[in-house]
Amino acid sequence: MEPGPRSRPAEPGPCVSASPSAGAALPASGAEPGSRPAAVAAVLPAGGCGERMGVRTPKQFCRVLGRPLISYTLQALERVCWIKDIVVAVTRENMEEMRNIIQRYGHKRVSLAEAGATRHRSIFNGLKALAEDQPDGKLTKPEVVIIHDAVRPFVDEDILLRVVIAANEHGAAGAIRPLVSTVISPSADGCLDHSLDRAQHRASEMPQAFLFDVIYDAYQQCSDYDLEFGTECLQLALKYCHTKAKLLEGSPDLWKVTYKQDLYAAESMIKEKISQEICVVVNTKDEESVGYLLKEALRNELNCINITSTPLDLPGRDTQNFLMAQCYSFIHVNVVSSDSHETQRFLSIIEESSLPLLYPVVVVLVCFLDFTLVPLTQKMESLVWIRDLAKEVKKSNVLLSGLLINHSQLALTV
């Protein structure tokens, strides 16, 4: 049974045009070649039942490390600040569960549309939601729309940006990967008819991106057969709008969670990503401070780790935003060792977020003392305080360790 909801961190939370002719494949007039359009949205079809996975729960709602798979995908898209709207097409019976996921994990910029009976019908419904005038102004028509799978959680900003820019120039674009296996065609009697040269073909992956008017026009012209049995959006743009998609090599991370064993692979990748990110939190913006120097030293020593630095002297609500990246390892640098309320405030923010509900959060508290000026009793008080605090926050799944560093000695050796 799931733990009850806690208060969530705030997440960072607009689109034009008239229909071109069916053959239009060029960006809107005035768009710079190689530039990203101002208005970008995304559509995620999430109406599948997970038949190939062989489980009752639709695969997009299967839990990986305690969290629904689709939540990871939404998180990956929400990290990209220039994606203004995300429309998830979900079946009517799963609509309430999707709303609960959005609320529980603090997702923003996400709207829901009702999924259709097939993948193409779900995408079409998502596009309709973006095309229609919204009375409350929540959704606006984009220039470029990204289509992505709800069960491909490892998409990064680089490939999203590349397909969007290419779609802005060519009308359509999609990620591809080399074929792993040779494709063969069997005859009616179950014998080999012919095989394809693997080097001459590619696997179509997601994400894909389109000028909105191109893909929306293509879906409006679609036959019932296409909507029922088709799978390839790029083919629809070619067939109905004569728009040849630009194909871009994608990374191995773009694979789709399809079978039950894929959930274990996804779990392993998520754990690896978690272990390779450290957020250094300092209570000063001074680039000459020991906190900044420590961050730079860590960056040099741990070259495989993604290190970010976030000053803690921000207004309370803004301070929570760095938790958006779902980092689970923190180094909190307390330049003024006696200023314990900063540490307690930081730990309170973590405890009130969704992070410790899912996995242990590791925090290393670094306090600087000038041992030539600080009496032994104060050193011992600092050690006892850190120990007692570690015992307290461990109840909330936060693992705290402490370091006391001789500030004067460090300053001499840096």
Say what angle helices 212-221 and 119-131 make with each other, to 10 degrees. 130
Return the pLDDT at 53.
Answer: 64
**pLDDT, tens digit (0-9, with 9 covering 90-100), for 292-335:** 677 777 777 776 666 666 655 544 444 455 554 567 888 888 76
Q: How much is the mean pLDDT over the chain?
A: 80
- 276-413 maps to CATH 1.10.600.10: no
Q: What is the percentage of the chain residues whose pLDDT exceeds 90? A: 43
Taking CA atoms, 274 is separated from 169, 253, 269, 333, 406, in Å, by 36, 15, 9, 20, 30
Return the pLDDT at 411.
Answer: 46
| pLDDT at position 201 over 80 | yes
**pLDDT, tens digit (0-9, with 9 covering 90-100), for 20-67:** 333 333 344 344 567 788 899 999 999 877 665 666 788 999 999 888
- Where are the domains positioned within the chain? 40-184+192-270, 276-413
C-alpha span between 155 and 178 (Å, rounded): 17
Q: What is the pTM of this model?
A: 0.71
- 40-184+192-270 maps to CATH 3.90.550.10: yes
Q: Contact, 248 vs 176, CB < 8 A?
A: yes
Closest C-alpha to 40, from 147, 123, 150: 147
12 membership: H or E segment, kind and range = none
Lowest mean pLDDT among 71-75, 76-80, 309-313: 309-313
DSSP 325-343: G---EEEEEESSTT-HHHH
